[in-house]
Amino acid sequence: MAEQDTRVSVEIRDHVAHVTLTRADKMNAVDNAMLKAIIAAVKEVEASDARAVVLSGEGRSFCAGLDVMSFAAMGQMGDTAWIMERTEGASNDFQAVAMLWRALPIPVIAAVTGACFGAGLQIALGADIRIAAPDAKLAVMEMKWGLIPDMGGMALLPQLVRSDVLRLLTYTATPIEAAQAANWGLVTELSDDPLARAQALAAEIAGKGPKAIRAAKRLIAYAESGASEAEVLLRESAEQAELIGKPEQMEVVMANMQKRAPVFK
């Protein structure tokens, strides 16, 4: 088994992909092997029949950030070409561990426990939905090391939080409580058992029409991309026409409508 294979597990059950960071002894800190393993996991899920993803961390923390010692040697070499190289579309490998989840055509739900710092936070930001334990802590941690968030954070955070909140989190690197994170928009909701809640939500989503769910994720991403109102309205119509134009999809739609039709007396 390759080293990176021990960093992330993927199990697909009932059309839900359960992806787990499995470096619990290091609080799931990200080293180079885990970078590669996360990218491989996304591609494995994309090639599967999964309709939703639950992303979690083994042990007491989702992910405590980068394994600093693991990457220290790279910085000492003084070669920054690896930062500028685009390895996965518009991203380098560091950015891909967040951005590939966002680009995945099915919904991703992150179950956040314990520490969710730096790289860990940015990985979680790639999810569509984040369920956090009340005692979880989140931080944009890079300024602690004299660095900036560079793993997709600046592509994703401005969609979630106000500019002043983004600046406060980035400039200070201060960990915040999950309740504050939810108030600011970093977290979708709190749960005493975020993994169970994420799994239940993923199962619910997996039970919906898979073509419609994929279309909805595409449409939301397009609407958030800065497209004009007219462009979004046209895309709405195009996505709906694509769904309605498929007889098998219309059969599903009509069956759902009949099941949920109001009863008038």
Q: Can you give the pLDDT at residue 258?
A: 55
Do 199 and 249 sit in the same domain of this protein?
no
Do 214 and 197 sit in the same domain of this protein?
no
198 within 8 A of 111, measured Cβ to Cβ: yes
Do 131 and 227 sit in the same domain of this protein?
no
Q: Can you give the pLDDT at residue 74?
A: 59
For the segment 30-51, what is each residue's pLDDT rounded down to a tens digit?
A: 999 999 999 999 999 999 999 9
Split into its structural domains, the chain has a count of 2
Look up the domain containing 70 and give its range: 3-206
Do 190 and 224 sit in the same domain of this protein?
no
Do 64 and 177 sit in the same domain of this protein?
yes
| Cα torsion angle, 120, 105, 94, 4, sign | positive
Q: Tell me which of 140-144, 210-214, 253-257 is least confident.
A: 253-257
> Within 10 Å of residue 141's Cβ, how many Cβ atoms?
25
Cα of first residue to Cα of last residue in the chain, in angstroms, is: 65
Scanning 178-246, the segments in alpha helix (DSSP H) are: 178-184, 194-206, 210-223, 229-244
Residue whose structure tokens are 């950030």 = 65
Do 186 and 253 sit in the same domain of this protein?
no
Residue 265 lies in a domain: no
**pLDDT higher than 60, residue 263:** no
Q: Residue range 204-228: average pLDDT? A: 96
Residue 56 lies in a domain: yes
Do 94 and 148 sit in the same domain of this protein?
yes
For the segment 85-109, what is each residue's pLDDT rounded down to a tens digit?
A: 898 999 999 999 999 999 999 999 9
- CA geometry: angle 187, 191, 197, nearest 5 deg: 100
**DSSP code at position 66:** B
Q: Can you give the pLDDT at residue 12?
A: 98
Rg (CA), the chain: 20
Q: Can you give the pLDDT at residue 80?
A: 78
108 within 8 A of 41, measured Cβ to Cβ: no
Q: Can you give the pLDDT at residue 69?
A: 78
55 within 8 A of 100, measured Cβ to Cβ: no
- CA geometry: angle 15, 19, 23, nearest 5 deg: 160
Domain final residue pick, 190, 206, 222: 206
Domain final residue pick, 167, 187, 206: 206
**pLDDT higher than 90, residue 249:** no
10 within 8 A of 44, measured Cβ to Cβ: yes
Q: Can you give the pLDDT at residue 73?
A: 60
Quick one: 200 exposed, middle or buried, by C-beta within 10 A (0-12, 13-18, 19+)?
A: middle
Split at pLDDT 50, 70, 90, the class of 81 is: confident
Instruction: Determine how β-strand 16-21 pairs with β-strand 8-13.
Output: antiparallel
Read off the pTM. 0.89
For the segment 182-195, what is each residue's pLDDT rounded down to a tens digit?
A: 999 999 999 999 99
CATH code of the domain covering residue 229: 1.10.12
Do 153 and 247 sit in the same domain of this protein?
no
Pick 132 or 264 by higher pLDDT.
132
Cα 159 vs. chain centroid, distance in angstroms? Answer: 13
**pLDDT higher than 90, residue 70:** no
| Cα torsion angle, 104, 208, 187, 131, sign | negative
CATH code of the domain covering residue 76: 3.90.226.10
Do 170 and 240 sit in the same domain of this protein?
no
Strands of 176-177's sheet in order across = 115-117, 137-139, 176-177
Distances, alpha carbon 84 to alpha carbons 90, 93, 141, 217, 248, in Å:
10, 10, 21, 29, 45
**pLDDT higher than 50, residue 129:** yes
Instruction: Determine how β-strand 129-132 pairs with β-strand 189-190.
Output: parallel
